[in-house]
Amino acid sequence: MTDLKPIFSECNSEPLYIAGPCSAESREQILSSAHDISAMGISIFRAGVWKPRTKPGSFEGIGKEALEWLREAKERYGLKVVTEIATPEHLEEALKSGIDGVWIGARTTTNPFATQQIADALRGVDIAVMLKNPVIPDVDLWVGAIERIYNSGIRRLAAIHRGFGTQQTTPYRNAPHWSVPIELHRRLPELTILSDPSHIGGRRDLIAQLSQQALDIGFEGLMIECHPTPECALSDAAQQITPAELAELIATLQWRRTPVGRDALSEYRLHIDTIDSRIIELLSERMDIARAIGDYKHAHNMAVVQQDRYNELLLAAEARAEAMRLSPKFISQIFSAIHEESVRQQLEKHK
């Protein structure tokens, strides 16, 4: 994909910011946020018009009527306006209203049939297209969706990392799995990759940290949800920030001009850092379970250490280690340390 172009060559600020509410809710809300966002010097405005919601009956967007508000925001404030599309019909409506760019949401990128239909409808159209990562952390599925859109002739193309659905306990709404966008960058080095800390975090207080992490990793920009009154938002209320908070965030973010991911050593290091944070998350999850076991044993008047169980655990870990090119001694040391901590935590419960 060496012939890719910037999504908006007129807006090639570094980093690139796209901001705006999760959903377009009213003309006033759109014009007020568009005003504030353009006053900050951000030139790409987002708002969802058709909203993919998990449960029926939630606010599913205003629909095409809201496209007129986006057109007005674009004309008044000289913004580029972008919205989410999930079907060829959405694309057609969005194009009629002079939209500058579209993104394909995580649920749609997950479905190759849906992505292909949009790709077919994009043939011959010159528009910026951004693909959010699929809901599952499958880099092939993401690359496949990007290729479908590329093959339709779109060259103003970018990817947006918005995290991945997970059943594990993490502080995030969608687990970042940074190694997935890093692998995407390794495979498609010319592709612009942005990060969406709002959907990764799912909570306002996580956005600053996730944004800085993304910039440190070498993402070229951020898509951030911003609403005039976030607590009253009709969708994603917990993760949106006010224009004033966005301005403050942008002022504190550091843009280091040595993005990681551009040379192999930094990429390896970043991959290691990602794995290390996963190890810590997993250990914390394991300790949560150990504490629950501690409660159970306490309630049933059982001893904390069951020697047979511990021996079994160590033997199984050593056997697995050997099969995976790890030294059994090394694994046995790690598991003794983990077990010791787990026993210590269970004993606390018995105090």
The site for ligand PEP (CB under 6 A) is made up of 22, 48, 52, 84, 105-106, 132, 162, 199
Mapped onto helix, strand or coil, the DSSP state of residue 84 is strand
With CB cut-offs between 5 and 8 Å by kind, which of Mn ion, ligand PEP, none does residue 294 bind?
A: none
Place of tokens 């290390």: 276
CB of 334 to ligand PEP, least distance (A): 36
CB of 196 to ligand PEP, least distance (A): 6
> Count H helices, E strands: the chain?
13, 8
C-alpha 342/C-alpha 158 separation (Å) is: 45
With CB cut-offs between 5 and 8 Å by kind, which of Mn ion, ligand PEP, none does residue 270 bind?
A: none
Q: Does 159 bind Mn ion (CB under 5 A)?
A: no
With CB cut-offs between 5 and 8 Å by kind, which of Mn ion, ligand PEP, none does residue 80 bind?
A: none
With CB cut-offs between 5 and 8 Å by kind, which of Mn ion, ligand PEP, none does residue 177 bind?
A: none
CA atoms lying within 13 Å on the CB side of residue 284: 9
Is 243:31 a contact under the CB 8 Å cutoff? no
CB of 225 to Mn ion, least distance (A): 6
CB of 335 to ligand PEP, least distance (A): 38
Give the H or E element holding residue 96.
helix 88-96
Q: Other C-beta atoms within 10 Å of 89: how many? A: 13
Q: Does 220 bind Mn ion (CB under 5 A)?
A: no
Q: Any residues with CB less than 8 A from the CB of 33 and at least 6 apart, and which?
A: 20, 21, 45, 47, 226, 227, 228, 243
In the bound state with ligand PEP, the residue whose beta carbon lies nearer, of 194 and 217, is: 194
Q: Other C-beta atoms within 10 Å of 272: how many? A: 11
In the bound state with Mn ion, the residue whose beta carbon lies nearer, of 107 and 187, is: 107
In the bound state with ligand PEP, the residue whose beta carbon lies nearer, of 52 and 144, is: 52
Q: Is 323 exposed, middle or buried (0-12, 13-18, 19+ CB in 10 A)?
A: exposed
CB of 23 to Mn ion, least distance (A): 7
CB of 86 to Mn ion, least distance (A): 14
Total binding residues toward Mn ion, as defined by CB under 5 A: 2
CB of 318 to Mn ion, least distance (A): 46
Length of the chain, in residues: 351
**Which residue stretch of 4-12, 234-242, 294-302, 330-338 sits at the interface with Mn ion (rule: CB under 5 A)?**
234-242
Token pair for 126: 């010159």
Which one among 84, 93, 220, 236 touches Mn ion, defined by CB under 5 A? 236
Q: Does 22 bind Mn ion (CB under 5 A)?
A: yes
With CB cut-offs between 5 and 8 Å by kind, which of Mn ion, ligand PEP, none does residue 105 bind?
A: ligand PEP
**16-49 in b/e burial notation, b at 16+ Cβ within 10 A?**
bbbbbbbbbbeeebbbbbbebbbebebbbbbbbb
CB of 312 to ligand PEP, least distance (A): 42
Q: Phi and psi (nearest 5°) for 131?
A: -110, 115
C-alpha 9/C-alpha 226 separation (Å) is: 24
User: For ligand PEP, which residue has the nearest CB?
Assistant: 105
In the bound state with ligand PEP, the residue whose beta carbon lies nearer, of 48 and 137, is: 48
Is 84:75 a contact under the CB 8 Å cutoff? no
Q: Does 141 bind Mn ion (CB under 5 A)?
A: no
Positions in the binding site for Mn ion (CB under 5 A): 22, 236
